[in-house]
Each structure stands twice: as C-alpha cells, then as structure tokens.
Structure 1
Amino acid sequence: MKLSQKMTRLGLCAAAAVGLVVTVSGSASANTILGIGQGAGACPTNYVCLWTENSYVGNTGSTGKFAAIASDQNISDMGKLERKGGLWTGMQDVTSSVVNNTGSSICFYEHNDYGGAEFRIGPWERWPSLPSWINDKISSFKYC
C-alpha cells in the first residue's frame, strides 16, 4: 500500500475516533458534530445534542445510524446527516434522549421540515428519556 493511502486511512480513522464535524452551507459558523461521546456532559455549550438511547447513550448496533450528534443550527432532515463511505446514514427516527445546552427553546418534530407533532424543551433542559409519543420519532428540530 502506498504511503499516501496509509496516511489517508490514518486520517479517516482519527476523524472517526474524535467525531466528525459537518459544516452545513448557509452559515460559516454552523456546525453539526457527528458521533459525540456518551453522557449529558459530552454536549458542548451552545449545542443541541441527541442520543439514540436513554440516559445519553449512543448505540450504533447494526442500524448504521449515528450514536449521537450535536448541532448549533436547525436541522430540517435528520436522515440527511451522513458520512460518505462510512456506516453512518443519519439519525432519523432514532432519538431517545436530548440535551439543550443553549439559551433558547428547541422544538423537535415528528416529520422532516418541522412538521407533525412538536416536542418543545426550554433552555438548558436535559431529557434522559423522551416521552413515548415522540421517542424514536424525531425527524427535524429547530430553535423556537
């Protein structure tokens, strides 16, 4: 294997180990971090964080979904968060716990583009277990 191929693989592994940051067009300062760690304390200040399991635990299992994400922006389609060439394919309809580490209210929605049932949480709120009617059903969220 060529040295450049080895360096590319090493770089990709390092990025996966510390989490990937995706900058979404529209704002130079907007970021979504894919694959944050476990526990409410893993949520950075001024971010909204979502985990696939209760108690701020992420489990990719065989679903290929993100274990957890953090974002400082509105996300209209959780299924479009993906890493090309990797196992992760999004976080649509898999969220079971959330942290709002911002000074604003956050509205989570059952459907893409902020449609369907709405679940609103206040600034700095933590939900280790979502209510059953919205658990594993979040498809989009925004500041509200």
Structure 2
Amino acid sequence: GKAIPAFIIGVVNFIFLLGVTVHVFGVPMRGSILLLLLLTLPFIVAEIGWGVLISAIAHTQQQAILFVFILAMTDISFSGFLVPVKNLPGGLQWIAQAVPMYHYLEIIRSVMLKGATLATLWPHGLALFGLAVTILPISVRGVSQRLD
C-alpha cells in the first residue's frame, strides 16, 4: 500500500524527465513513447522493491542511507552507465544481468536513439519484469516479517 505513491511519483518523474530530455536537451525520440513507458513500469516496480527491502532490513535511518548508497553504487557500476557491460569480466557481466538499471538503460538507449521495437527489446523487458516480480514479493515478505 505504501509503495503506490512511490510508483505514481516514479511514473510522473519519468514523464517529466522524458519531456526535459527531449525538449530541453534535444535528445531525439526515435521510438515509441508508449513502449518506453510500458517498459519503464517494471523498472519502477523493481526499484521500489529494493527500497522496500532496504526499509525492511535497516534498523536505523543511517543504515538505510548506507544501504541506499551501496545499492546506487552497485547499480551505476553494473548498469553500463560508466563502463560498457561487455568490457566487464565474465562473472561481473553475469551480475549485471541482475541489475534492473542495466536492462533499463539498454531499453532507453535503444528506444530513444535507435527506434527499437518490442521485437528486439523483449529480452530486456522480460528480465525487468522477472526482476520486478522477484524483488517486490521478497521485500514485502521482509516487511511483513519485521512487523510481526
């Protein structure tokens, strides 16, 4: 229940920042906005799942901040944002597959810059969906156990 406002804020942020990206920074939008929105939804759910999980395992606000920092650094390191994932050693490439941001960045780049369709993006979309339906139930279970 408490994750619903975060989901709505995530969708509003996506729409606003997409507008800024296209209209202020002039990044071309060669693909479908609707496809990008649909593939954004499981990313938002997966990231909310991580947030709920952190709230379940952190005992203090300081611990939560530390966990968020560690998660953010992991996301950035394994997403392909700083270094292409194909340049990482094999084991680290495998870890990147479990990072929602890796799949989401591939989707954003492909839809916006290449005009990619679902026919080429389905593996990343499926991975995001799989991560979302895995992370969120685990985090909800963690919260319910902590409340008991």
TM-score normalized by structure 1?
0.25
Normalising by structure 2, we get a TM-score of 0.24
Choose between structure 1 and 2: higher helix proportion. 2
Q: Which of structures 1 and 2 has the bigger CA Rg? A: 2
Larger RCO: Structure 1 or Structure 2 (Cα < 8 Å, ≥ 6 residues apart)? 2
Higher strand share: 1
